[in-house]
Chains A and B, each alone.
Chain A
Amino acid sequence: MALFEQLLHILQGPMVWIALGVFAAGLVVQSLRLWSYTRKNNPHTIGFAANPRIGEKNSRARRWVRRSGAIKTTALGASPVVTGVSIIFHIFLFITPLFLMGHNVLIHTATGIRLPSFSEPVSDVCTLTVLVCGLFFLLRRLLSRNVRALTSAYDLFLLLLVMLPFASGFLARHHLLIDYRQMILLHMAAGELMLIMIPFSKFFHMIFFFFGRFCIVSEYSLAAPKRIWQFHSRGAKQ
């Protein structure tokens, strides 16, 4: 029992700060690393991006018409259900823990900063949304022929690791399944492990996505980016 108390003490105290520190530092370091792999695009470069419309001053309405046409060629057009579930999953993945009252009370106690919080029933709905979407992905991983062809045990581990803090948090709050303190231990351990892993594992797509879709010139850009990849060492230009 003493070991359990010690573990709980570590996971509640120093480990929270270590996990948040590694997460934040990892995000910064990895973002800078990715940034160093890019360079400003030469506006005169002729390539697939030398679209006559690029560089043209488009009206807002025209830009939207162009974008909505472009959506058909993207995942949203080709697989609207999976993409829709994915968007919902990722939004709730972030807002649920960020606006959870229990978390914000702890943050307030530790730092004096008061963050806005959802009411508990709203948080419950958010948590269940993440879990339902996660379950959808899990079933898709196990049942879809295409996804199965790519799936490894690591993919399943990562998906379960994402779902675990949400499932254990929900079960702990409602005092279900096992003792509250054991459940909350599992909740913190899983949450902290996930935070630490984000910058260094496949979760890295969280950072790469913003580069790939918002910063790098490509046909599928979601903004008007000005940079291109430059993976080679800086000495060798072009």
Chain B
Amino acid sequence: MKQAGQVDPEPIQRILEKHKREIRMGLKVCAHCSLCAESCFIYAASKNPRHMPSYKFIHSIGRLQRKNARVSRAEMEKIRDMVWYDCVLCTRCYCPFGINIPSLIAMARQACRTQGLSREYEKDPIRPATDGNS
């Protein structure tokens, strides 16, 4: 597992502050319609609602925004799994309203990187998508 440690909220807060308009807009506009689901190939393979693009951005960057980056290391690792393993940022997700979901997921990835969290290709080259329940 990752080394034990605390999450340093400050660099994440800077990202949240820089992109606050786009994040708030995305969260506000998302009608929770789930029509984006079929556009995600990871969802198409798993049929797991946690792999829907909307679910991924709401529970990654959306969660960080709501909690103003005050999350535990375990939560941050969950977000890492969501945006690095359950999403490959292929940018094929489709939102009927035109929310730029890849942009929001990329912000969550940035937030993860500030905590030294990202995909560990050398250790985990072919880890399957998580079931999201761990």
Question: In this complex, what residue of B is CB-closest to A154?
Answer: B32
A94 at the interface (CB under 8 A from B): no
Chain A residue with minimal CB distance to B22?
A231
Which of these binds chain A: B46-54, B67-75, B77-85, B111-119?
A: B46-54
Q: Once bound together, how far apart are the Cα atoms of A216 and B19, in whole Å?
A: 18
In contact, A202 and B33 (Cβ under 8 angstroms): no
The B-contacting residues of A in range 67-103, CB under 8 angstroms, are 73-75, 78-79, 82-83, 86
Known: A145-B49, A208-B25. A220 touches B98 (CB 8 A): yes
B91 CB, nearest partner CB in chain A, Å:
7
For residue A17, CB closer than 8 A to chain B, the reply is no
Q: Which of B28, B35, B54, B99 has the most CB of A within 10 A?
A: B35
Interface size grouping (class) on chain A: 20 to 34
Interface secondary structure of B, over-half rule: loop
Q: Is the CB of B52 within 8 A of A213?
A: no
* Total B residues in contact with A, Cβ cutoff 8 Å: 31
Query: Are the CB atoms of A212 and B91 closer together than 8 Å?
Result: no
Determine the distance from Cα of A37 to Cα of B100 in the docked complex, in whole angstroms.
14
Look across to chain B and name the residue whose beta carbon is closest to the beta carbon of A147: B34
Q: Is the CB of A232 within 8 A of B98?
A: no
Residue interface mask B40-73, A partner, CB < 8 A = 1: 0000000001101011001000000000000000
Binding site for A on B (CB under 8 A): 18-19, 21-22, 25, 28-39, 49-50, 52, 54-55, 58, 91, 94-100
Between A and B, 24 residue pairs with Cβ closer than 8 Å are A73-B94, A75-B35, A75-B36, A78-B35, A78-B39, A145-B49, A146-B37, A149-B50, A149-B55, A150-B34, A150-B52, A150-B58, A152-B32, A202-B28, A202-B29, A205-B29, A212-B95, A212-B97, A212-B99, A213-B96, A216-B98, A218-B98, A220-B98, A231-B21
